[in-house]
Structure 1
Amino acid sequence: MRAESPVHRATMRGEVGVWVVTGHDECVAVLTDPRFSADLEAAPRITAGLPPERRRNVLMETLLASDPPDHTRMRAIVGRAFTARRVAALAPRVQEIVDELLDAFAANGRGDLVEGLALPLPIAVICELLGVPFARERFRNWSVGLAMPPADGATLERADAARAEMTEFFLEQIALKRAEPGDDVLSALVTAHANEDVSDDELVGLAIMLFLSGHETTLCFLANALVALLTHPGQLAALRADPGQIPRAVDELLRYDGPVARGVARFTLEDVPIAGTVIPRGEMVMVAIGAANRDPARFPDPDVLDLTRENNPQLGFGHGIHHCLGAALARLEIVTALTTLLRRFPDMELAVPVADLPRRPGMLRGLKHVPVTFTPRRTSQEGSLDSAG
C-alpha cells in the first residue's frame, strides 16, 4: 500500500470505512496537524450507531482521546506527577524486579520470556509508580479485555466488563489515596483533583490510561525486541560485547518491530489534503506507525535491523502533542531487562522456530509466548554468571 500511495481508502472488519496513511512524512503531518482530532466525537458518522456507554466512557476522558485545551490541561497535570525524577528513582526497583523474575527460572535452563518477564515486569513497575497493589492475573485479564479489537458483540461485552471492573478498582484506590496520600503518581493525581484541575471521570480515566499504556505496549515491545535480537545473532553479539549501546538500540528495535504497528486513530475536523488526497471532514484516519517506520523514503534498508543506525526518527512513541508520556519509563524497563538478560544468559536461544511463536490477539503487535533455552544459572544473589552445576 505504501509503495502505491501514502494515503489509501480502506475498510476495517468489512464495516468501518477509514483512511490509512502509510508514509513517514505523511504520518508525521497527521500527528502534528490540529485539524486531525484524537476525539472520537469528531466523527459522528462512526459514533452514530454506538450506544451512549460505548460512545463516551471514562476511557474517552484521557490524554489519548482529547484535544487542546483539555489535552494540554491534563497532560500538564500528569506531567507534574509523572516526573523524570520519579522515573529515575525507580531504576533500582526495576532492577530488583527484573532479577527476581529471572531468578524464578534461571536454574531451569529454559523459560518463557513473556510469562516470566515481559508480562509481569511492566505490570509490577506501573503498580509501583501508581502506588496500587500488584495483582498479576487480575490486571492481565483486564488488559486483554480492553486491548482486543471490537470485532463482535462478545468482545465488546468483555471490554465493557473489564472497564467496569477497572473503574471500580481505581475508585477504591482513589478513596484510599484521599484518606492517606503517598509519594506516588495516583496520590499526585488525587491532589490535583482536590484542586479541581480534573473531574471525577478524568481522574479515573487517567488512572486506567496510565495502567494500560504503562504495561501493555511495553509487554509487547519487550517480547518483540527479544525475538528480533535472538534471530539476529550478529547484532546480538555486538550488544553483548558493548552493552553501553543498548539504550541507542532501543530506537532501532522499536522502529523494526514496535507494538503499535497498525496505527493510531485520528478524526478530521475539516476537509484536509494529504499527499494530494483530500480526506473529508468527519472521517477516521489510521496512522500506520509500522508502515511509517519501514518507509524506504525515510530509512535506508528499512527491512534490515541495524542497531547502529544513525538519524532514526522512528514513530514508535508517537509524535507531536501525543508523544508517549511514559517513553522514559518504557526505555528504563527495556534497557534494564535487555542488559540483565544479555549478562546473565549469554547463550540464550529460541526453543522453537520463530515461525511457531504464537501472536497475541488484539490491536497491538505482540507475542503470547517466547520459549527459550540457556545454560542453567544460579540466582542473582548467588552469582548470576556461575553455572548451576
Structure 2
Amino acid sequence: MMPASPPEPVVDLTDPAVLADPLRGYDRILAETPVCRARLPGGGEAWLITGNADVRAVLAHPAIRNDPAGLPGHGARAQERTLLALGTPEEHLPYLRASLLSLDGAAHTRLRRSIAGAFGAAKVAEMRPRLRRIVHDLLDTLGGTVDLLDGFAYPVAMTVVCELVGVDEEDRDAWRRWGKVLVAADPAEVAVTMGEMFASCHALVDRRRADPKDDLISAVVAQDHLGDVEAVALVVFLVLAGHETAAHALSNAALALMRDRAQLDLLLADPELWPAAVRELVRTHGPVQLARLRYAAEDITVGGVLISAGDAVQVVLGAANRDPDQFTHPHEPDIRWQAGQGYAEGHVGFGWGPHFCLGAALARVEGEESLRALFERFPDVHPVGEPAWVPLPRGRHREALDVRLT
C-alpha cells in the first residue's frame, strides 16, 4: 500500500506577517500547531517543528540527515539540481558537498574533529586577552552617534574569526561584502560571489602551504587526509558563520540590554553574571530562527505525528527557545534564573546534536567581552530611533543599529 501523502501546508513562512515579526509568528505556530506542514522560503514544503523538546529530539535523532541524497523521493543529485537551477556553476558543487553543514555520520565527524581543537575551551581561554584588546581598541575609536552593527559588532566578529582562521587583513572587506550578498540570497549575485570566495580561499591555502603561520588554515593544510576542496570549504564555512551570525548576535543582545535597564543594572553591579547573560540573550534574542533543512532517513514520530522517510524537516530554533513548557520566562531574558542553571544549555540557540555549533565557546566569550566592555565604557548608551529589521524568515537581523554613546 502506498504511504499517504503529507497534508497540505497549514503555514507559509513567506507570509508577510511572519516576515514582519518572526518571533510572534513562530510563537503563534508553536501555540497552535507545534508539528505541522509548512511552505518554505524559496519553495518546497516540510514538517515544521517548534516545541523545545521536539526540536532537540529531532536534531539529535540518528535518522535525521542534512544530506537527502539517496532517501525516498530524493535523487542522488536532487538538491544539486535545485542549486544549478538557481545559477550555481557545476564547478562549485564539490565545495558545497564538502561543507560541514552538508555532511552526516562518519564524514562529518572526521572533518569536525580535524578543527575541533581550535574551538575548544582551552584554546578559547587563550584567545580571551587578545579578544579583549580587539574590543577595547575598537571602542577607543567610537563616540557620539554610531551604527553599532557596522561600527562595532561586525568589526569585532570579523577580526576575531579572521585572526583565528588566518584570513589576511587585506581580504577582510571582501569577506564582509560576500557575507551580505549570501544572506540576501539574490541568485543573480550569489554565483559570482561564491566563485570569488572559492578563488580567494584557494589562494590562501596555497600561501599557507608554502609559508605556514600560527593559524587554523595552516594546521588544516598540514593534515594529509584533507584535500584542497575540503580546506576551502572549511574556510568558507568558518569565516561566514564566524562573522555574520556573531555580529547580529552582538547587535541583538546589545539592543535587548539597552531596553531592559533592570537586567543591565544587574550586570553592571555584578560582572560575574555576564556568562549567564550571554547564554540567556542567545536564547531570547539569537539571530538564527530556522536551522538548516533536514531529512528523515526512516519513519519517525515527532510530537505524535508520523514523519515518513524522505520527508523534509524544518526546526524552528527561535520558537523552541521561547517555549513556555521549557522556560519560566520564555520571552524576556532572566539573567539570575539563567545563572542558577549553571552552564547547562537548555536552549538551542547554538543548535543541538551532532551539528551543535562548533564555535559556541568562542561566541560566548566574544559576547561576554564585547558586551561587558561596551556597557562599562558607555553605561548610558541608547538607541537612536527604531532599528529596522531585515525581512528574513530564517534570521533575526537588523539593517543597522544607530546608538548614542554617552
Q: TM-score, normalised by structure 1?
A: 0.88
Contact 1:220 1:364 in 2 (8 A): no
Structure-1 residue corresponding to 2:18: none
Q: Are 1:133 and 2:168 counterparts?
A: yes
Q: Are 1:357 and 2:390 counterparts?
A: no
Structure-2 residue corresponding to 1:314: 347
- Evaluate the alpha carbon distance shift between residue 348 and residue 81 of structure 1 in structure 2; reply closer, same or farther with a 3 A threshold: closer
SS of 1:125's equivalent? Answer: helix
Q: Of 354, 371, 375, which aligns to 2:402?
A: 371
Structure-2 residue corresponding to 1:251: 279
Give the unaligned 5+ runs of structure 2: 1-28
Structure-2 separation of matches of 1:80 and 1:87: 10
- Displacement of 1:53 after TM fit? 4.3
* Aligned amino acid, residue 72 of structure 1: T
Q: Of 332, 336, 339, which aligns to 2:369?
A: 336
Contact 1:264 1:288 in 2 (8 A): no
**Per-residue CA distance 1:17-74 (angstroms, 9 max, x = gap):** 1111000000001100011101143572762544274793413312211101101111
Structure-1 separation of matches of 2:82 and 2:368: 44
- Displacement of 1:361 after TM fit? 5.1
Structure-1 residue corresponding to 2:122: 85
What's the RMSD between the two structures over aligned residues? 1.9
Contact 1:102 1:116 in 2 (8 A): no
- Evaluate the alpha carbon distance shift between residue 81 and residue 341 of structure 1 in structure 2; reply closer, same or farther with a 3 A threshold: closer
Structure-2 residue corresponding to 1:235: 263
SS of 1:71's equivalent? Answer: helix
Within 5 A, what are the aligned runs for 1:1-389?
1-13=29-41, 15-41=43-69, 42=71, 44=74, 47=79, 48-51=81-84, 53=89, 56-106=93-143, 109-134=144-169, 135-149=171-185, 155-192=186-223, 195=224, 197-310=225-338, 311=341, 313-352=346-385, 356-360=386-390, 362=392, 363-375=394-406
- Displacement of 1:110 after TM fit? 2.2
Structure 1 segments of 4+ aligned residues over 4 angstroms from their partners: 52-55
Structure-1 separation of matches of 2:140 and 2:268: 20
SS of 1:286's equivalent? Answer: strand
Contact 1:148 1:361 in 2 (8 A): no
- Displacement of 1:351 after TM fit? 1.5
Structure-2 separation of matches of 1:212 and 1:14: 21
State percent identity of aligned pairs.
37
* Aligned amino acid, residue 148 of structure 2: L
| Range that drifts further, 338-347 or 10-19 | 10-19
- Evaluate the alpha carbon distance shift between residue 139 and residue 176 of structure 1 in structure 2; reply closer, same or farther with a 3 A threshold: same
Contact 1:294 1:303 in 2 (8 A): yes
**Per-residue CA distance 1:296-353 (angstroms, 9 max, x = gap):** 111113113211124360111111111111111111111111111111111111111x
Contact 1:63 1:74 in 2 (8 A): yes
- Displacement of 1:119 after TM fit? 0.9
Give the unaligned 5+ runs of structure 1: 150-154, 376-389
